[in-house]
Amino acid sequence: MATKWNLIVDVALCDNCRLCFLAVKDEYVGNAFPGVSAPQPAGEQHKWLDIERKERGTYPILEARFMPVMCNHCDEAPCMKAAQGGAVRKRPDGVVIIDPEKAKGQKKIMQACPYDAIYWNEEKDIPQAWPFDAHLLDEGWTKTRAEQACPMDVFRTICVDDAEMQRIQADEDLEVLRPELGTRPRVWYKNLHKITKCFVSGTVVEQVNGVEECAEGAEVVLSKDGNECGRATTDFFGEFTIDRLEPGSGAYQLEITGSAGGFSTQFELGDESPYLGVMTLSTASN
């Protein structure tokens, strides 16, 4: 079975240093690679690799996450279906190439991409996207420029057959962007829930000699419709977070048990990640 290129992106590791963005700019701005890419225009308009930001949570427990995005090199690429005259092709190694000569004037190639990963070069009248550094792979490189530049190990460039990729996907719980589109991307995301899902958080305290103190080690159980869907243990500050909740998923029940007693509450989950406040353990029912 033929091996094909895939890119794994770990959202949890990205700190928005943007060295990957700069590496792609350095590779393509002003540089032509015949059969692969015409030069990328200078300036901010063309972001062949970009960083999207997502904020989750409510004060005082909140976080900002960053997600690198680029051409997904889809197996069922909409841009390839929209192209005429072989202007977009998929190589045997899985890389999608927008031919800089054949694609001239075909703006519908850009318009067909549901990920907004294709850019229009006004000067050259062509659509352009990140070509998976195909010219470097053809020279024997095993890592993309983005992976080489990243100090946080966000990227992992791998060349495996589809069966092995399915195994890796299952073992590492990898996801693709907008799977409902059926485009079958070859860019995979790890910890994508930090962008697409919600979490619930709170602070648990207990009374010690008439003084409220952080309740470390309390067990927190989240349930929906009578079924457990998340569990956590409070940290040194009495704080907890339960992640991977579907936005807008409705009513939940929260039960907390600690050495000083218990606490229970209900809440409705909307599209944001709620902070449930300070909850005091008590021997009395709440």
Which of 42-51, 111-120, 216-225, 276-285 is predicted with the least confidence, judged by mean pLDDT? Answer: 276-285
Per-residue pLDDT at 185:
98
Is 187 in the same domain as 220?
no
Is 150 in the same domain as 105?
yes
With respect to residue 118, please indicate whether it lies within any of the assigned structural domains. yes
Contact 232, 256 (CB under 8 A): no
Structural domain of 230:
198-280
CB atoms within 10 A of CB 179: 10
Contact 275, 61 (CB under 8 A): yes
- DSSP result, 144-205: -HHHHH-TT--EEEEEE-HHHHHHHHHHHT-B-S-GGG----SEEEESTHHHH-EEEEEEEE
The whole-number average pLDDT for the span 278-283 is: 93
CATH number of the domain residue 210 falls in: 2.60.40.10
Residue 229 pLDDT > 70: yes
Report pLDDT digits (tens) over 18-27. 999 999 999 9
Report pLDDT digits (tens) over 133-183. 999 999 999 999 999 999 999 999 999 999 999 999 999 999 999 999 999
The whole-number average pLDDT for the span 33-37 is: 96
With respect to residue 286, please indicate whether it lies within any of the assigned structural domains. no
pTM over 0.75: yes
With residues binned 3-state (H G I as helix, E B as strand, rest as coil), the percentages for the chain, rounded to 5, are: 20, 40, 40
Residue 286 pLDDT > 90: no
Would you place residue 43 in the very low, low, confident or very high pLDDT band (cuts 50, 70, 90)?
confident
Domain boundary among 161, 195, 229: 195
CA distance 274 to 44: 35
Is 154 in the same domain as 263?
no
CATH number of the domain residue 68 falls in: 3.30.70.20
Q: Which residues contact 210 (CB under 8 A, 6 or more apart)?
A: none
Would you place residue 283 in the very low, low, confident or very high pLDDT band (cuts 50, 70, 90)?
confident
Is 189 in the same domain as 206?
no
Residue 3 pLDDT > 60: yes
Is 161 in the same domain as 38?
yes
Is 182 in the same domain as 215?
no
The whole-number average pLDDT for the span 67-96 is: 98
Residue 60 pLDDT > 70: yes
Chain-wide mean pLDDT for the chain?
Answer: 96
Is 178 in the same domain as 38?
yes
CA–chain centroid gap for 123, Å, is 32
Give how far Cα 24 sits from Cα of 93, 119, 245, Å: 21, 14, 34
% of residues, the chain, pLDDT over 90 = 95
- Burial classification of residue 204, based on how many CB atoms lie within 10 Å of its CB (0-12 exposed, 13-18 middle, 19 or more buried): buried
Domain boundary among 143, 177, 195: 195
Contact 127, 98 (CB under 8 A): yes
Report pLDDT digits (tens) over 106-137. 999 999 999 999 999 999 999 999 999 999 99
Per-residue pLDDT at 281:
96
Report CA torsion sign: 217, 218, 219, 225.
negative
With respect to residue 285, please indicate whether it lies within any of the assigned structural domains. no
Report pLDDT digits (tens) over 186-195. 999 999 999 9
Per the structure, the count of domains in the chain is 2
Per-residue pLDDT at 284:
67
Is 33 in the same domain as 136?
yes
140: left (phi over 0), alpha (psi -120 to 50) or beta: left
35: left (phi over 0), alpha (psi -120 to 50) or beta: left
The whole-number average pLDDT for the span 40-54 is: 95
Is 179 in the same domain as 206?
no
